[in-house]
Structure 1
Amino acid sequence: MSSAAVAAPSSFIYWKRNLTISVFGAFTSIIAMTLLIPLLPAYIKELGISDRALISQWSGIAYGATFLSAALVAPLWGRLSDRFGRKLMLVRASLGMTIVMAMMGFAHNVWELVALRLLVGLAGGYSSGANTLVATQTPENRTGWALGLLSAGILTGNLVGPLVGGFLPSVIGIRGTFMVAAGLIFITFLTTLFGMQEDRDGINERRRDQAANKGGWRRIEHRWLLAAMLVSGFLMMVANMSIEPIVALYVGHFVEPEAVLPTSGIVMAATACGGVFSAIWLGRFADRSSVGPWWTIVFCLAAGAFLMLPQAFVTAAWQLIVLRFLMGLALGGLLPCLSSMIRRHVPASMAGSVLGASVSVLYIGQVLGPLAGGYIGGHLSMQAVFILSCVLMSLGVLFNMVAMRRHRPA
């Protein structure tokens, strides 16, 4: 085991219980966050914006605001979790999201809505906090599997949320839907507060380590490895999210106008479905095989690049759906393996800070990907978006190969 192992054996006492609560909490909080996506344009119209172009513009701003603010504060919450405990950060996130989500239902204008979307990004971060907790409180030989299970819960929440958001407003209204979302996160808050356990000795040990070892990120020995993990996550997120703005337009080339929206939904869901199926298996594979998580990451990126290129040349919607599903299978284990690698090679007192930084990088990629895809698709061609995404993932493979050569295990 690496000298930088990030948890003492006593930290593993509650790992199964905490994993169960983390998966449940991430699943419910993601549902609550994503069920709002389909109703944002309708809510913005209800808030007084009538011009179609402005509705589209404000929808994009409101959607991206949460990821932007979350990217800014993720390293801070990670650092505080090192010092004050992982559970406390999850309790803070779920309570803060509950309050802000309820407030969104009472917005009077679009400015208030955007401000609250920024605020929920600042206050939230349950799934990223759960990722830190699971990564640091799970035995090393089960980390990939546990993180894969958490990733599967998050991906499933991303699938279920928009489906629920598509029909719930017609039953209870848009503002009522915000109350349901707040109530769902409140259940997560209660479950986390009363069900999760954390070893206080581990928190005190991290504080002593922080006090005794100054120097911050300079203390990290495996810098090439860490750089490879951050670059891999960023490039994968930019490449994968770049097609979000062009899906409906691209699908419109292959289907009748009335079938564009449902087919686009299937295309977008296909990747998540593939990820749900493969996340746990790839995590377990990285734990148990001689290949290890780093080579698993390289294989995932290479497979993603290989599957991205033919998407630029499909001639029917079903071909795109199949390729997106296969790409989800290929990439499903990438993020759990990234967190597993960081968990194995970062000091315990810095694990939250570094994992928080990795989450911040992913959020930045989640913002830049759609922006880049929309611009390239509009000014060059939609095929160019897939080709560029293939190039980005290929660069990720090359960077990892260079990092492996430069990496010197302790």
Structure 2
Amino acid sequence: MKMWKRNLIVCWFGMFVTSIGMSQIAPVLPLYIKHLGISNTALIEQFSGIAFGVTFIISAIFSPIWGQAADKVGRKPMLLRASLGMAIVVGSMGFAKNVYVLIGLRLLQGTITGYSTACTTLIATQTDDEHAGWALGTLSTANIAGSLLGPTIGGFIEEIFGLQNVFSITGALLLIAFITTALFVRESFTREDKKVLSIKEIWSIVPEKSLTITILVTFFILTVSLYSVEPIITVYVTQLSQNTSHVALIAGMAFSASGLANIIAAPRLGKLSDKIGAHKVILVALAAAGLIFIPQAFVKNSWQLMGLRFLLGLASAGLIPSVNILVKKITPSSLTGRVFGINMSAGYLGVFGGSVLGGQVSAYLGIRYVFFITSALLLINAVWVYFKVYKKLSLN
């Protein structure tokens, strides 16, 4: 087996598990915070929001730093650091004595992340142009599927094995990711630049600044759109469902439908990007995703919502691999890790921003407006991509 294919298999598993580690806490947070001695409902909600959001905010800050480190010392050391660090930190959450220790561990978790950035950089730099779209598309399914399925997996573990075992089992999976990475990932790394560049210096030597900005904003809006429904989907399913005894399960299925569709479609759309060009796939995917959000505001039952969420996953599956292909195409190899790190920061900010947007829009305007506003963001982004990316690359 070729080295990049073996690395792809190991990285897929590692990214899937680390993404679960980032997101699995969402459904059990309120229960765990209550378990830690907080009884006031308002305080539980407040601490839940802080504990969930702080990881992604800190990750957005540190992701470019670890991306730069990957360019300096190699990608495999960053994979080992992140997987072992997260295994220890996530496993320790099950032994937190109070909510402040839990928040501190969530903050530390955000600080030591970087597995996804290092994996994406490793595969992007090792894979030939002919297979880059398929490889990066396959890899992207791990991140998005882990993030979207994580809450359902966390809830399932809590239901079967108990509250504290959510952290122990996830920590054990992360430790397995560390071991498999140490044993099976191979990298031939040559340090190209001994000088540590600042963000300003990195930006000054990025050759395609306009394209890079467009790609970063597109990735941010994509993650905003995927997570804008997270705060409101349980409430929406409650309104739609006649059977209130299984609302949590149905809401988890509706939210995770996009992740399942992403797993199915992303490798195929990545391969299509190799054939016809990532700029074409990204434009069609943005427009399709934007349009699919609109009917979600008018569904009559939960099954219709699940179906449309599945279609959304099929459409959005073309976006992440196309973004990664374009980053690889326009970025010098010596800067790949740092630019992917900045791109990952945009994604982490999108997760946080989407959750905030969905909650605030729902509170002030109503649930259906979450879908309308998210649709508008995607369609406006599609128009911008048409002029800034599609037209420019079509001429080359």
TM-score, structure 2 normalization: 0.93
2:230 maps to 1:244: yes
2:331 is aligned, of 325, 342, 346, to 346
1:258 is aligned, of 245, 249, 252, to 245
Judged with a 3 Å threshold, the aligned counterparts in structure 2 of structure 1 residues 258 and 358 are, in CA distance, closer, same or farther, namely same
CA distance, structure 1, for counterparts of residue 154 and residue 350 of structure 2 = 25
The corresponding residue for 1:272 is 259
The corresponding residue for 1:9 is none
Deviation at 1:147, TM superposition (A): 1.2
2:223–2:354 contact (8 Å) kept in structure 1: yes
CA distance, structure 2, for counterparts of residue 311 and residue 159 of structure 1 = 18
2:88 maps to 1:99: yes
Which residue identity lines up with residue 271 of structure 1 in the other structure? S
The corresponding residue for 1:304 is 289
2:67–2:114 contact (8 Å) kept in structure 1: no
2:270 maps to 1:283: yes
2:117–2:337 contact (8 Å) kept in structure 1: no
The corresponding residue for 1:386 is 371
Instruction: Out of 119-128 and 250-259, give the one that drifted further.
Output: 250-259
Deviation at 1:249, TM superposition (A): 1.6
Instruction: Out of 278-287 and 179-188, give the one that drifted further.
Output: 179-188
The corresponding residue for 1:74 is 63
Judged with a 3 Å threshold, the aligned counterparts in structure 2 of structure 1 residues 327 and 198 are, in CA distance, closer, same or farther, namely same
Query: How is 1:2-13 mapped onto 2 (pairs within 5 angstroms)?
Result: none
2:314 maps to 1:329: yes
2:193 is aligned, of 192, 200, 207, to 207
CA distance, structure 2, for counterparts of residue 249 and residue 172 of structure 1 = 26
2:257–2:313 contact (8 Å) kept in structure 1: yes
1:31–1:161 contact (8 Å) kept in structure 2: yes
Judged with a 3 Å threshold, the aligned counterparts in structure 2 of structure 1 residues 399 and 170 are, in CA distance, closer, same or farther, namely closer
Deviation at 1:130, TM superposition (A): 1.2
2:389 maps to 1:400: no
Judged with a 3 Å threshold, the aligned counterparts in structure 2 of structure 1 residues 318 and 39 are, in CA distance, closer, same or farther, namely same
Deviation at 1:208, TM superposition (A): 6.4
SS at match of 2:95: coil
Deviation at 1:209, TM superposition (A): 9.4
Deviation at 1:403, TM superposition (A): 0.9
CA distance, structure 2, for counterparts of residue 141 and residue 209 of structure 1 = 32
CA distance, structure 2, for counterparts of residue 224 and residue 32 of structure 1 = 34
Judged with a 3 Å threshold, the aligned counterparts in structure 2 of structure 1 residues 122 and 88 are, in CA distance, closer, same or farther, namely same
CA distance, structure 2, for counterparts of residue 220 and residue 408 of structure 1 = 21
Deviation at 1:253, TM superposition (A): 2.2
Moved over 6 A (4+): 208-211, 407-410
2:217 maps to 1:231: yes
The corresponding residue for 1:132 is 121
Judged with a 3 Å threshold, the aligned counterparts in structure 2 of structure 1 residues 312 and 169 are, in CA distance, closer, same or farther, namely closer
Which residue identity lines up with residue 21 of structure 1 in the other structure? V
1:224–1:406 contact (8 Å) kept in structure 2: no
Judged with a 3 Å threshold, the aligned counterparts in structure 2 of structure 1 residues 30 and 224 are, in CA distance, closer, same or farther, namely same
CA distance, structure 2, for counterparts of residue 273 and residue 147 of structure 1 = 17
Which residue identity lines up with residue 216 of structure 1 in the other structure? I
2:176 is aligned, of 170, 187, 191, to 187
SS at match of 2:193: helix
CA distance, structure 2, for counterparts of residue 187 and residue 409 of structure 1 = 47
CA distance, structure 2, for counterparts of residue 229 and residue 92 of structure 1 = 28
Aligned residues: 392
Deviation at 1:161, TM superposition (A): 3.8
Judged with a 3 Å threshold, the aligned counterparts in structure 2 of structure 1 residues 194 and 366 are, in CA distance, closer, same or farther, namely same
1:273–1:325 contact (8 Å) kept in structure 2: yes
The corresponding residue for 1:115 is 104
Deviation at 1:30, TM superposition (A): 2.7
1:144-192 Cα offsets, whole Å, 9 max, x none, are 1011111223344346544443243455443333222222111111111
1:84 is aligned, of 50, 64, 73, to 73
Deviation at 1:406, TM superposition (A): 5.8
Judged with a 3 Å threshold, the aligned counterparts in structure 2 of structure 1 residues 79 and 265 are, in CA distance, closer, same or farther, namely same
2:152–2:252 contact (8 Å) kept in structure 1: no
1:16-40 Cα offsets, whole Å, 9 max, x none, are 2211111121123333444333322
* Percent identity between the two aligned chains: 38
Which residue identity lines up with residue 97 of structure 1 in the other structure? M
Q: What RMSD in Å do the two structures reach over aligned CA positions?
A: 2.2
Deviation at 1:409, TM superposition (A): 8.1
The corresponding residue for 2:33 is 44
CA distance, structure 1, for counterparts of residue 394 and residue 141 of structure 2 = 32
CA distance, structure 2, for counterparts of residue 409 and residue 221 of structure 1 = 17
Judged with a 3 Å threshold, the aligned counterparts in structure 2 of structure 1 residues 369 and 102 are, in CA distance, closer, same or farther, namely same
The corresponding residue for 1:3 is none
The corresponding residue for 1:8 is none
The corresponding residue for 2:15 is 26
Deviation at 1:227, TM superposition (A): 1.5
The corresponding residue for 1:222 is 208
2:304 maps to 1:319: yes
Judged with a 3 Å threshold, the aligned counterparts in structure 2 of structure 1 residues 309 and 93 are, in CA distance, closer, same or farther, namely same
